[in-house]
Amino acid sequence: MSEALSLRLSEALTPAKIGKGVLIALVLLWSLGPIYWALNSSLMQPVDLTAVPPHAFPPAPTLKTYSGLLGLQGAADNATGASIWPHFRAATINSLVTAVAGTLGTIVVAALGGYAFARLRFPGRNIVFGLVVATLAVPGYTVIIPLYRLMIKLGLVDTYLGLTLIYMSAFLPLALWLMRSFFLSLPKSLEEAAQIDGASRLYTLFRIVLPLAMPGLIATAIVTFLSVWQQFSVPLVFSPTYATKPLTVMIPELASRHDLNFGLINAAGILAILPPFVVVVFLNRFLVQGLTAGAGK
Amino acid sequence: MLGRGISRKLAAALATTALTTTLFCAAAAQAEEITVLLPSFGADATTRQLLEGFTKESGIEVNLQTMSWDDIRPKIVTSMVAGTAPADAIEFDWSWIGQFGAAKWFTPLDDKFDAALIKDMPTASVFTYEGKLYGVPYANDFRVNSVNMALLKKAGITEAPKTPDDILKDAKILKDKKVVDYPVSIPLAAAEGTSTAWYFLTRMYGGELFDKDWKPLFTAKDSAGYKALEWIAQGLHDGLINPAMTGLTDMQVTASFAGGNAAIDLAGHPYDLATYNDPQKSKVVGQVTYSLAAADPAKPMTIALPEAMGIPVNSKHKDAAVKFIKWWSEHQPEIYTAVSVLPTRTSALEGLAKDGKLQGGAEIAKYSAYTQAIFSQGTPAWYSEFSGAVSATINQVAKGQITVDAAVKQIADRAQSAQQQ
């Protein structure tokens, strides 16, 4: 090894940099370790899942659990071999529909409301905003029983509309907060220039402000989508059948009282991760940009 | 003329309306539907096919809703507190009878089922609260020891252990002869299966948990409950029980046992042989047998953990739900064959065992006769708090965080505070 190379290495490997590298490795292990373990388990033969010590890699990899879940072969129903694909398909569609509907509904209201709280002057503006944001501190389970009664009365249990309304009410405060912060971070001068040119408030909002606020809107949409996607306690109560039952409620049902099919559960979990994974990977830059906007305000 | 024409038209319109209404009502009556809420058997598609048989017989459609076992109680409680029936016929676990009975959420069923049918179900008494029957058992469950005889034979042991001391003695031989590192498996996570294992061990030692006034009976050193907890601590101390059991629930212990990682599974289920004898899931095919142990081998006992179906008081289809539960009770053997729900009727169990259709049939039929309710006084309303305290405390003992003396005191204190609340 040349002297110059060893000098460069010693410059590169400072204790601070090594410490940083170790920390990053630990964080990655902490975050990705469980996902790897789920993937590893999903690819194992059932009989290899209980080995002691456990296998770090599948000794005889199989895609049987995935093919069963996706209906490519009929044998995945734990006890009998009947296909579980119809339920998995229904739950996936339900998760997607409720996540998309909840997200769209939330960002539409959050965009309009956030702009109003940021730019319009009306009596009690800050108090109303403070009250809306304060609802973030209310634990969901404290309102679930009155909400259930209300939904029964309205005939909205086990409907997409009912779930969407619940998700909108649950995630709107955070979305409003994010959108207001984003609008406050935008320069007022553009809006004032448009108004001097005769543009109405709505025209200014839709044609000038919202295009500029797109990173904030996308960030808010991602946060809302991820929050709705992982919902469990709400659909547990409000989605009794496969008309609306999502993956989060369906997957635990794969663990029956008599049988614990780790492989099938992990395969379903891995597939359930994919939609949010795709959303975050492709829209990550908007997420960072949108969430950091207004941070200095 | 005009008036007569109008009258005729009016009469014709009224007759048409009446006929349409009648036909509509008849159609509606034919299409009566009930909702049934049960835990998933892991075979929902097959269960739905089975239920078509009920629809053919009765004309009643069944909307089957399934949930994971752990999630079903919160769903029921939320719905009932909100004043709505979560379904017309619903899951009713043995451990809920105290709480649900006190809340008067369920319809008494005494006069709706034949006495002979209920008599054929020895665990029906578990679902009685203040003299009234609130649930009809549909899924049998009790505790047995699963013993891997192939491993025992490797250590020169020829018969399953008959007493709790024998279990530890045999385990020591297995360990010393290096047949298996940790010969005994038992769930020790802070979960219900751990509490159940302790109740089962207490019964093995021939004792009760409470006296008739709900005073704890497990605090004295010579009590069955104390000995049961001491047995667990001893097994861990001697390296006979894997310390990793502190993170495993009963179903996870079953999966681990199927991997051949232990020789004796304490507090196994009477349906585990289906897993152990499935070559897709098990490395111990044909090696496992069920057994019971007792401090006095002449008096073997086990605990009943059945599940029933009940009908909420605010169900709108009570009669149809009764018909459904009757149908299920009468078809228990076919249901077992299709989706492995162990019958609660003695006659059904005996019939299956006789026909060779029940895995471990002879033992199951024999041991089910030894089942007793965990609480001879009836499951108390404060059971869930007590059970949570038991499993958390045993988990602490297993991790070496507290002594057995401190543990029994802690469980007794929590039981008494739960009663006062």
Domain borders along chain A are: 3-62, 85-292
- How much is the pLDDT for A44? 93
- How much is the pLDDT for B44? 66
- How much is the pLDDT for A141? 82
Smallest Cβ–Cβ distance between B42 and the set A78, A86, A148 belongs to A78
ipTM over 0.85: no
Beta-carbon separation of B42 and A77 below 8 A: yes
A chain contacts of residue B69, beta-carbon cutoff 8 Å:
255-257
A234 vs chain B: nearest CA distance in angstroms?
10
| Cα dihedral B159/B162/B165/B170 (nearest 10) | 10
| B341 pLDDT more than 50 | yes
Superfamily of domain A85-292: MetI-like (1.10.3720.10)
- Token pair of B52 as six digits: 């078509």
| B330 pLDDT more than 90 | yes
- How much is the pLDDT for A290? 66
Tens digits of residue pLDDT in A230-284: 999 999 999 988 999 999 999 988 887 677 788 999 999 999 999 999 998 888 7
A chain contacts of residue B79, beta-carbon cutoff 8 Å:
148, 237
Tens digits of residue pLDDT in B373-393: 999 888 998 998 999 999 999
B317 to A288, B62, B260: CA distances (angstroms): 54, 11, 48
Helices and strands (H and E) in chain A: how many: 14, 0
Tens digits of residue pLDDT in A79-100: 444 568 888 999 999 999 999 9
B chain contacts of residue A82, beta-carbon cutoff 8 Å:
43, 45-46, 49
Beta-carbon separation of B43 and A80 below 8 A: yes
Say if B35-75+82-141+306-372 and B144-303+382-420 have the same CATH topology: yes
Going by pLDDT thresholds of 50, 70 and 90, the confidence category of residue A1 is low
Q: Does domain B144-303+382-420 have CATH number 3.40.190.10?
A: yes
Superfamily of domain B35-75+82-141+306-372: Periplasmic binding protein-like II (3.40.190.10)
Beta-carbon separation of B84 and A87 below 8 A: no
Beta-carbon separation of A259 and B42 below 8 A: yes
- Interchain contact A86–B (C-beta under 8 A): yes
B377 to B126, B128, B310: CA distances (angstroms): 10, 10, 21
DSSP B106: B
Taking the C-alpha atoms of residue A188 and residue A120, their distance in angstroms, rounded to an integer, is 12
Beta-carbon separation of A145 and B279 below 8 A: no
For residues A163 and A239, the answer to whether their CB atoms sit within 8 Å is yes
Segments making up each domain of chain B, as ranges: 35-75+82-141+306-372, 144-303+382-420
| B307 pLDDT more than 50 | yes
